[in-house]
Structure 1
């Protein structure tokens, strides 16, 4: 009986040694860079580095574009304010136009007939504050009707 137990222990030790040898070979093949899996790991690692670099470059471009867009928005808002003032000035000059200019559609285009040109008398100069107040009033009125 002792011999059978010794043989079973020896057989178990041989099987364990063979399994350790097999695992050792697989681990060595996995860590080698010229193998398929090792090559794939190296390629993936390089791609992660490249993507990190590309992400940093995209973030820098995004911040530069955001800054440029902010400047363009500021310029557009200033232009919109100027246009509102010009529109208000045009409306007030149209309302204050003399009665003989009411039919301005009858006046031909420039260069066709100079005899039909009827000069307007110069309007009294208005201050910028009056125009701004009028634009603000119109803007508030338009915002209330929405």
Structure 2
């Protein structure tokens, strides 16, 4: 019985040693920077850094655009206020009397006449 227990113990020890060897090899491949997960993690870390820099640039550009837009909005509001004031002051000005002399271009348009020619059928009907 002791002999069988020793054989099983030796087999378990051998299996555990083989399992540790396989795990060690996998861990070694996992941690290499060139081809394993370590390389992928390094690449992803570099991409995160690049994206962070791009995000900061975009944030700075958006802040600049927002401040520029605020300035333009304030300027437009002041111009609109001045236009409203000018429009309100226009109500105080009396209406201009119409000019008794007609505009020559408008009169020329009114005087234009259109001549309608008779078709051949209409002229043959009147000739008959």
TM bracket (short chain): 0.7 to 0.9
Please list the CA deviations of residues 58-91 of structure 1 after superposition, one character each: whole Å capped at 9, or x if unmatched. Answer: 1111111111111111101001101101111223
Q: Which runs of 5+ in 1 are unaligned?
A: 113-146
Q: Name which structure has the greater RCO, CA cutoff 8 Å, separation 6+.
A: 1
Matched residue, 1:53: 53
Residues 16-62 of structure 1: CA deviation (Å, up to 9, x unaligned)? 11111111111111110111433222211110000011111111111
| 1:74-121 deviation per Cα after TM superposition (whole angstroms, max 9, x unaligned) | 10100110110111122322xx225xx1x36x8649xx8xxxxxxxxx
Q: Show the counterpart of 2:79.
A: 79
Q: After the TM superposition, which parts of structure 1 deviate over 6 Å for at least 4 consecutive aligned residues?
A: none
How many equivalent pairs are there? 104
Compute the RMSD of aligned alpha carbons.
Answer: 2.1
Aligned twin of 1:97? 95
Distance 1:84 1:107 in 2: 33
- Answer with 9-18 or 30-39: which moved more: 30-39
**In the alignment, does 2:28 pair up with 1:66?**
no
CA gap 1:108/1:32 in 2 versus in 1, 3 angstroms = farther
Alignment of 1:1-146 (within 5 A): 1-93=1-93, 96-97=94-95, 101=97, 103=98, 108=103
Structure with the greater alpha carbon radius of gyration: 2
**Equivalents in 1 of 2:47, 2:102: separation in Å?**
71
Q: TM-score, normalised by structure 1?
A: 0.64
